[in-house]
């Protein structure tokens, strides 16, 4: 698990993942907003005290026949403000980890908030499940956020489209985070038009990033996995992708915020969009 050390309870963490112990000590910190992205009924059944509920589907919508797309900027800013978040807020995103894909609700929302200009965003390492496993306090009291007007500065460098990837296909490092059978074209999801991978991509599976309890592996383990595929040059441009632009946010966060790669982007449309275009370079 990623270890986080603090000297005082109300010191804000700069880590992309905070422990249940850190969050417990900062649960009443006025500068921290805890955002629970689980379904409303799950939140009502029990949640971390002082957390607000903003369902994942509000952050990543279906648009143009594709999944996990950004809302319109006005809608996204309204959503962030109505959650009680300012650009200076430390946001901790909480989701469940019941199934392997569930934890990526947290990473996608973290990346979306970073894209929208929130400077300090973390996920709860191991999610709500870890909180419960450590027998931390649970509340059923619904928290109404203090709505604010959000005015953030979009970081357009974090999320790119198909045309951009096309223009960088021979220059950037394209990182496919799907499992090897999908990367190698042995398997595919139903909504992806054909098996295989984007031309020139390398494979860095998400399974290499997490422990069985959905906590992040140690920095040393993450660095070993990443550098064996990407190399040690922290200045190179990296574009991660998956099938819908959701699960690729995990390695994007790790590479940029833990391992110090300076230029990390995600391709939002990923293979769902790429494989619909017969002109898009593809390998199998």
Domain limits of the chain?
17-133, 156-283
15 band by pLDDT with thresholds 50, 70 and 90: confident
pLDDT value at residue 5: 32
Q: What is the pLDDT of residue 1?
A: 42
Burial 37-64 (b: 16+ CB within 10 A, else e): bbeeebbeeebbebbbbbebebbbeeee
pTM of the model: 0.94
CATH class, domain 17-133, is: alpha beta
Q: What is the mean pLDDT of residues 272-276?
A: 98
Largest CA distance in the chain: 56
Mean pLDDT of the chain: 94
Q: What is the mean pLDDT of residues 68-73?
A: 96
| Bridge partners, residue 121, by sequence | 91
Look at residue 232 and tell me whether its pLDDT is greater than 90.
yes
The architecture that CATH gives domain 156-283 is: 3-Layer(aba) Sandwich (3.40)
């Amino acid at each position: 698990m990623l270890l986080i050390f603090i000297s005082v309870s109300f010191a804000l963490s700069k880590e992309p993942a905070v422990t249940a112990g850190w969050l417990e000590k900062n649960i009443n910190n006025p500068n921290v907003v805890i955002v629970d992205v689980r379904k409303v009924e799950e939140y009502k059944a029990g949640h971390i005290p002082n957390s607000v509920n903003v369902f994942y589907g509000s952050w990543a919508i279906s648009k143009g026949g594709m999944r996990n797309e950004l809302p319109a900027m006005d809608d996204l800013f309204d959503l962030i403000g109505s959650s009680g978040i300012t650009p200076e807020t430390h946001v901790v995103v909480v989701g469940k980890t019941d199934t392997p894909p569930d934890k990526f609700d947290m990473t996608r929302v973290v990346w979306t908030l970073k894209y929208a200009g929130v400077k300090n965003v973390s996920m709860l390492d191991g999610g709500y499940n870890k909180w419960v496993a450590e027998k931390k306090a649970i509340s059923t009291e619904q928290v109404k956020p203090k709505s604010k007007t959000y005015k953030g500065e979009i970081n357009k460098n974090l999320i790119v489209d198909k045309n951009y990837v096309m223009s960088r296909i021979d220059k950037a490092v394209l990182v496919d985070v799907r499992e090897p059978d999908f990367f190698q074209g042995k398997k595919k999801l139903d909504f992806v038009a054909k098996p295989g991978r984007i031309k020139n991509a390398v494979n860095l599976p998400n399974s290499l990033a997490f422990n069985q309890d959905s906590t992040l592996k140690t920095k040393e383990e993450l660095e070993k996995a990443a550098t064996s595929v990407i190399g040690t040059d922290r200045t190179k441009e990296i574009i991660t992708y998956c099938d819908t632009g959701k699960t690729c946010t995990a390695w994007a966060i790790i590479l940029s915020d833990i391992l110090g790669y300076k230029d990390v982007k995600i391709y939002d449309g990923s293979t769902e969009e790429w494989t619909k275009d017969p002109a898009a370079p593809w390998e199998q």
